[in-house]
């Protein structure tokens, strides 16, 4: 079979270039199936686990189909959690970087007014959680008239979290001649129902998950008494010596307890759960992504949308009570073709839940004993070496893409009657600068931000200190990140 390539599809050069800069060399299975159909604007339901590249599977056609000249939102993407909304917005921004696609994320616990302002400006793609999106619709701050693409991401999770009515209410507000794409790791009955109710002859795509998951992820089940769990966890850390690992607990209290005990023993660790404020959740996630610490203790909810490359281990400290969540949790490892290990602790009276999970995933999880004294002694030196090693800080995929991009701040905007074309007109006249070097332009009432691409930022900054825009000399400097 010939190697697949993103140039096989009808994609513009701007998009293909961004994918190259992101290091996406070849489409993944789900992208290969979805992109050509989505480009024809047909309805789709896609069963595919997270980590399969599904965000780009809808992100690429959306960025391709968006008309840059249209100022109002053309795509709406619903996600179950704030982290995922933010991640998807970031992915869309990266894919659409050279086409200058503007994406806005809407979710709760963030100032409504700030989001309203963002929606008021040019905005092509809106990504949000159902509650806040509905809030904007009801207050008239989100204009859906031009939305021709709708994505329901992680539909199963959305329904599990009780968002069904809100999702339905939002869909009812979007024009009927839209394209709808639904993504879900699992397709329980209520998700199927949602598809039938709101989609027109959708094409069903299924990317084989359990088998693939089985190949990429090594599963293990260890029977352990509740009181022994923490000791077994420490032993497993020694024998497995994970590079990085998520430890899932059932409740926020349990996360707090496990984290506190690990922290006291000076393990490089942190925690994330829905009871923490959003900014702290982002800080923790970003530090984990960069590899600043190895052990993340988490609840299910907070772990949705976590896209961290190279997670080597997932430990289910508490057995997930819902069979679907086993698939979601283990989906945090073995991502994008990498291998991973999923170790599950089960107390003797929870065995019947294991049977349900096994029936669901279609295979038996291999039983293992807790690590023996000998195994621990043998692994200890390597474990201690890694514990003492300085963490290697990883770079984000988008770093490469962002290299050569400088965001400039100008102290003038709408109130001075400045529009995007005024910036393009002025900047493109600078010797050595073309319209291709100008990225996303954001114009607010009193200030504007312009991304300058291809390493031309310092040149533009120098020239603009003495050049007027629409006859006005504006203050300009590099924007704070
Ligand atoms: P997702 O399933 O959308 O959460 O994506 C999982 C991971 O795969 C993300 O880190 C993406 O950046 C990465 N990814 C997506 N598409 C590709 C591709 N074609 N080649 C390499 N990595 C990819």
> Tens digit of pLDDT for each residue in 104-124?
999 998 899 999 999 988 899
For 1-42, the pLDDT digits (tens) are: 456 899 999 899 999 999 998 888 889 889 999 999 999 999
Torsion angles phi and psi, residue 337, rounded to 5: 80, 0
Q: Is 51 in the pocket of ligand 1 (CB under 6 A)?
A: yes
**Domains of the chain, start order:** 6-206 (3.40.50.300), 211-388 (3.40.50.300), 404-478 (3.30.70.330)
Distance CA 304, CA 183 (A): 14
> 94: Cβ below 6 Å to ligand 1?
no
Which pLDDT value is given to residue 213? Answer: 44
> Which ligand 1 atom is the nearest neighbour of the CA of 87?
4
pLDDT-above-90 percentage for the chain: 59
Question: What does the pLDDT read at residue 2?
Answer: 57
Closest by Cα among 78, 262, 250, 235 to 154? 78
Distance (angstroms) between ligand 1 centre and the Cα of 89 equals 14
Q: What is the pLDDT of residue 74?
A: 98
Average pLDDT for 71-97: 94
Q: 52 C-alpha vs ligand 1 centroid, how far in Å?
A: 6
Q: Is the CB of 178 under 6 A from ligand 1?
A: no
For 265-311, what is each residue's pLDDT tens digit? 999 999 999 888 888 888 898 888 888 899 999 998 766 666 676 78
55 Cβ below 6 A of ligand 1 = yes
Say if CB 330 and CB 219 are below 8 A apart. yes
Residue 335 CB–ligand 1 contact under 6 Å = yes
| 27 C-beta closer than 6 A to ligand 1 | yes
| Residue 313's pLDDT band (cuts 50, 70, 90) | very high
d(CA 354, CA 195): 30
- Return the ligand 1 atom nearest residue 51 CA: 2
């Amino acid at each position: 079979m010939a190697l697949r390539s993103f140039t096989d599809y009808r994609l513009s050069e701007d998009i293909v270039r961004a994918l190259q800069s992101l290091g996406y060399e070849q489409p993944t299975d789900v992208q290969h199936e979805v992109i050509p159909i989505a480009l024809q604007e047909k309805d789709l339901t896609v069963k595919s686990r997270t980590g399969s590249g599904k965000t780009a599977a809808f992100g690429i056609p959306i960025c391709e189909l968006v008309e840059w000249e249209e100022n109002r939102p053309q795509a709406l993407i619903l996600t179950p959690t704030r982290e995922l909304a933010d991640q998807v917005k970031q992915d869309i921004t990266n894919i659409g970087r050279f086409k200058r696609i503007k994406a806005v994320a809407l979710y709760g616990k963030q100032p409504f007014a700030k989001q309203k302002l963002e929606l008021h400006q040019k905005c092509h793609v809106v990504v949000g959680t159902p509650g806040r999106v509905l809030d904007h619709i009801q207050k008239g701050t989100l204009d859906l008239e031009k939305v021709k693409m709708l994505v329901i991401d992680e539909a199963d999770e959305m329904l599990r979290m009780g968002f069904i009515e809100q999702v339905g209410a939002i869909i009812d507000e979007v024009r009927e001649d839209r394209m709808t794409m639904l993504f879900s790791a699992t397709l329980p009955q209520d998700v199927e129902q949602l598809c039938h109710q709101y989609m027109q002859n959708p094409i069903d795509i299924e990317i084989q998950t359990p088998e693939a998951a089985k190949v990429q992820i090594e599963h293990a089940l260890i029977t352990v008494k509740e009181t022994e769990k923490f000791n077994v966890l420490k032993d497993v850390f020694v024998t497995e010596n994970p590079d990085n690992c998520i430890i899932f607990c059932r409740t926020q209290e349990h996360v707090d307890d496990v984290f506190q005990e690990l922290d006291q023993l000076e393990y490089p660790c942190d925690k994330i759960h829905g009871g923490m404020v959003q900014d702290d959740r982002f800080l923790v996630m970003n530090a984990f992504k960069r590899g600043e610490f190895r052990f993340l203790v988490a609840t299910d909810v907070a772990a949705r949308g976590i896209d961290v490359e190279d997670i080597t281990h997932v430990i289910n400290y508490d057995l997930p009570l819902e069979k679907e969540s086993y698939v979601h949790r283990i989906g945090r490892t073995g991502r994008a073709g990498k291998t991973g290990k999923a170790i599950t602790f089960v107390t003797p009276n929870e065995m019947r839940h294991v049977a349900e999970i096994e029936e669901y995933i279609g295979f038996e999880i291999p039983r293992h004993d807790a690590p023996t004294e000998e195994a621990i002694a043998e692994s200890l030196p390597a474990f201690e070496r890694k514990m003492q090693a300085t963490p290697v800080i990883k770079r984000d995929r988008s770093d490469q893409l962002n290299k050569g991009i400088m965001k400039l701040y100008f102290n003038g905007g709408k109130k001075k009657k400045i529009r995007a074309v005024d910036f393009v007109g002025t900047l493109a006249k600078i010797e050595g600068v073309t319209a291709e070097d100008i990225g996303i332009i954001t114009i607010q009432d009193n200030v504007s931000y312009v991304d300058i691409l291809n390493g031309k930022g310092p040149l533009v900054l120098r020239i603009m200190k003495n050049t007027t825009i629409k006859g006005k000399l504006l203050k300009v400097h590099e924007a704070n990140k």
